[in-house]
């Protein structure tokens, strides 16, 4: 998002919008209470939130701008390579608490811990609503405060699984990468089903586009600014437009809403 803000300021020659980086809960709370008038989150406003916004005599525009994915990461020394969606569900509901309980366990033993950014994040909401049908999360789950802290914890501890947004999986210099093997952590494959010849996938853009990777979420920009002309409103349309979408495509692991082409290629040495 830093590149979006910087490019927007250069193109429109206006004072740049001032981003506030916080949890999804905090972002939506600020929007609903009219502390901010634009936010980027992973869900649309619910009926209660819409009612509160309208009580301030404000309208609401909501637009899908990208599809993101969750990545499951472990220490490079961890021998495990694959989890199923059922495994993940059982971990966050407290049914799986040890490595040897995993469906495709490598033989690693001991207590399994799962770490994420913070309790008010979109990650927690996804695990609660999409995996646990709205039930509270249980088990060996620990908040680290940020995605960056999750990655650092995984680097130092071979007994934990980290959950981060796939966009945080970048090479040195914050550039998007085409091969997760370049990272200082191991990215696990995730499979939808438990089968004899199971195939798991990593959260590359192509696997998000084809729907092969199961842990995905939508990314929305929400605007409540009533002014006819404002930097906030212009930024809203910038994110939806070609320039904003190109930045998302070129500088992140997220998939844009623009049409994509997937081609088979052969590589010879």
Q: What is the mean pLDDT of residues 149-163?
A: 95
d(CA 73, CA 10): 36
Q: How many domains does the chain have?
A: 2
Among 24, 123, 122, 21, which residue's Cα sits nearest to residue 73?
Answer: 123
Same domain, 83 and 192: yes
The pLDDT tens digits of the residues spanning 16-25 come to: 678 898 889 9
**Residues 116 and 193 grouped into a single domain:** yes
Based on the fold, state whether residues 89 and 47 are members of the same structural domain.
no
* 53-96 tens-digit pLDDT: 999 999 999 999 998 899 999 999 999 999 999 999 999 999 99
- For 191, the enclosing helix (H) or strand (E) is strand 189-191
Do 200 and 115 lie in one domain? The reply is yes
The most confident of the ranges 28-42, 177-191, 206-220 is 28-42
Q: Domain span at residue 235?
A: 2-66+226-256
Q: Averaged over 155-179, what is the pLDDT?
A: 83
Average pLDDT, the chain: 88
For residues 257 and 138, give the distance between their C-alpha atoms in angstroms, rounded to a whole number.
34
Give the model's pLDDT for residue 269: 47
Any idea what the CATH number is for the domain that residue 154 is in?
Answer: 3.40.190.10
Look up the pTM and report it. Answer: 0.85
């Amino acid at each position: 998002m830093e590149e979006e803000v910087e490019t927007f300021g250069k193109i429109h020659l206006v004072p740049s919008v001032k981003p506030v980086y916080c949890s999804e809960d905090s972002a939506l709370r600020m929007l609903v209470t009219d502390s901010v008038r634009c936010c980027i989150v992973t869900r649309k406003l619910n009926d209660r939130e819409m009612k509160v916004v309208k009580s301030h005599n404000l309208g609401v525009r909501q637009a899908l701008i990208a599809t993101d994915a969750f990545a499951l990461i472990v220490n490079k020394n961890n021998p495990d390579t694959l989890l199923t969606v059922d495994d993940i569900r059982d971990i966050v509901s407290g049914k799986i608490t040890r490595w040897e309980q995993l469906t495709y366990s490598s033989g690693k033993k001991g207590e399994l811990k799962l770490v994420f950014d913070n309790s008010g994040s979109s990650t927690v909401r996804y695990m609660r609503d999409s995996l646990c049908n709205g039930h509270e999360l249980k088990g060996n789950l620990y908040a680290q405060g940020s995605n960056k802290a999750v990655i650092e914890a995984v680097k130092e501890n071979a007994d934990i699984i980290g959950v981060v947004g796939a966009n945080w999986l970048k090479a040195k210099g914050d550039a998007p990468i085409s091969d997760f093997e370049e990272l200082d952590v191991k990215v696990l494959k995730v499979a939808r089903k438990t089968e004899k010849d199971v195939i798991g996938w990593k959260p590359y853009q192509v696997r998000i586009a084809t729907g092969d990777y199961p842990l995905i979420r939508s990314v929305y920009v929400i605007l409540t600014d009533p002014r006819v002309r404002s930097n906030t409103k212009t930024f809203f349309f910038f994110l939806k437009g070609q320039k904003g979408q190109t930045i998302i495509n070129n500088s992140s692991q997220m998939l844009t809403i623009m049409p994509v082409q997937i081609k088979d290629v052969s590589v010879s040495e």
